[in-house]
Amino acid sequence: MGRTNRPVGRKVSQDFYTIEQAGDAFVVALAGNPNTGKSTVFNALTGLKQHTGNWPGKTVIQSRGEYIHQGRRFMLVDLPGTYSLLASSPEEQTARDFLCFGQPTATVIVVDATCLERNLNLALQVMEITPRVIVCLNLIDEAQRKKIVINHQALENRLGVPVVLTAARSGEGLGQLKEEIALVAGGIIRPQPVPFRYPADIEQEIAKLDRLLPSTLPAGLNRRWVALRLLDGDQAMIDGLQKCWGNNVLRRETA
C-alpha cells in the first residue's frame, strides 16, 4: 500500500493491528514497565531473528522476532515499555491498541521482582484486557541480592495467571517461560485472572453501561473493560473501538 496523506479511515486500523507474516505462528505480545529487562527477555527468546520498524502512524519503535518451540512457530511482538495503559502517551496507546485489537494469542508481562508493587499496576491493567497472560517475574537474582522474598504460589493465587521466575540476563527460567507460553497459547492452560471489583459507585455505572452496549463487541473485547474505558473518558480508545468496528464489518462483508 502506498503512503498517502489522506485519512484512509477504517483501512488504517487493519494495517495497524494485524501483524504481517504471522502465518501459522502464535502471536505473543511482550509487555512490561521500562527497565525491567523486557528487551533482554525478548533478545534471549528470539535470538537474531528480529525485525524492527515503526508502528504504523506512530514514531514508536516496533520490534518483532520469531522462535520455534517444540516445532511450533511463535511470533513475539515487543510492546513499548510503559508504566500503565491508562494515559495518553503514544507508547501507552500503541501498547494498549495492540493488546485490544491485535488479539495476541498470549501476552507475557515482564515484571521487575525488585519493585513488584509498581510493576503490578501494568500487569493488572493488561489482565483486564485479556485473560491469556503469563507473568514473567524477572530480575529474580537481583531481588535475592536485595533480600526480597516473593511468595511465588501466593502471587499466582492472587493474580490467577501463571507466574514464571526468571533471571533473563543469565538465561535462568527462560525454558520454563517458553513452556508456559506454549501451554497458554495452545489453550492447554486457560488462565482465569482473579476478577477485580471497583468501588461500588463505579461498579454501578459499569453495570449501567454494560446494558447499553451492543450485544456483541468487536475483536472479542471484554465488555466490562470497554465500559470502564467509556467511563474513564478515554477518547483515543473510543475512536479505536469505532475504527476496529468498521474493520470487523468490512471483513465480514468481503468474506
Partner 1 sequence: MSEQILECAALEPAVREAERLRAEKGQLFHDQIAASIYSRAEDIAKDVVSAAGVKTDWDHKIDRLVTSRIFGYPLMLALLGAVFWLTITGANYPSALLGDFFSAIEKQLTALFTLLGAPAWLHGVVVLGTYRGLAWVVSVMLPPMAIFFPLFTILEDLGYLPRVAFNLDRVFKHVGAHGKQALTMSMGFGCNAAGVIAARIIDSPRERLIAILTNSFVPCNGRFPTLIAIAMIFMGAGATTALGSLAASATVIGLVLIGIAVTLLVSWLLAKTLLRGTPSTFTLELPPYRKPQLLQVIVRSFFDRTLFLLKRAVVVAAPAGAITWVLANVYIGEISVLAQVAGWLDPFGRALGMDGIIIFSFILGLPANEIVVPILVMSYMAAGAMLEPESLGALRELLVFHGWTWLTALNFMLFSLLHFPCGTTILTIRKETGSVGWAVFGTLMPLAVATLVCLLLAQTARLSGLL
Residues making contact with partner 1 (CB under 8 A): 10, 83-84, 86-90, 116-118, 120-121, 123-125, 146-151, 154-155, 158-159, 196, 198-199, 202, 205, 208-209, 212-214, 227-228, 230-233, 238, 241-242, 245-246, 249-250, 252-253
CB nearer to partner 1: give 70 or 151: 151
**Shortest Å, Cβ 84 to partner 1:** 6
CA–CA gap between residue 125 and residue 129 (Å, rounded): 7
**Shortest Å, Cβ 29 to partner 1:** 19
CA angle 168, 157, 27 (to 5 degrees): 50
Single out the residue of 29, 145, 122 nearest to residue 76, CA to CA.
Answer: 29
Instruction: Say how many residues make up the chain.
Output: 255
CB nearer to partner 1: give 73 or 146: 146
CB nearer to partner 1: give 108 or 237: 237
Query: Three-state DSSP class for 42?
Result: helix
| Backbone dihedral angles phi then psi of residue 112, each to the nearest 5 degrees | -80, 115
168 Cβ neighbours under 8 A, 6+ residues apart:
37, 40, 41, 44, 138, 139, 174
Q: Are strands 61-69 and 72-78 parallel, antiparallel or unpaired?
A: antiparallel
CB nearer to partner 1: give 76 or 163: 163
**Shortest Å, Cβ 47 to partner 1:** 31
**Shortest Å, Cβ 149 to partner 1:** 5
CB nearer to partner 1: give 9 or 47: 9
**Shortest Å, Cβ 92 to partner 1:** 9
**Shortest Å, Cβ 223 to partner 1:** 10
78 contacts 30 by C-beta, under 8 angstroms: yes
**Shortest Å, Cβ 40 to partner 1:** 20
CA–CA gap between residue 125 and residue 221 (Å, rounded): 14
CB nearer to partner 1: give 53 or 199: 199
Single out the residue of 23, 139, 36, 128 nearest to residue 80, CA to CA.
Answer: 36
| Backbone dihedral angles phi then psi of residue 193, each to the nearest 5 degrees | -55, 135
13 contacts 101 by C-beta, under 8 angstroms: yes
CB nearer to partner 1: give 93 or 107: 93
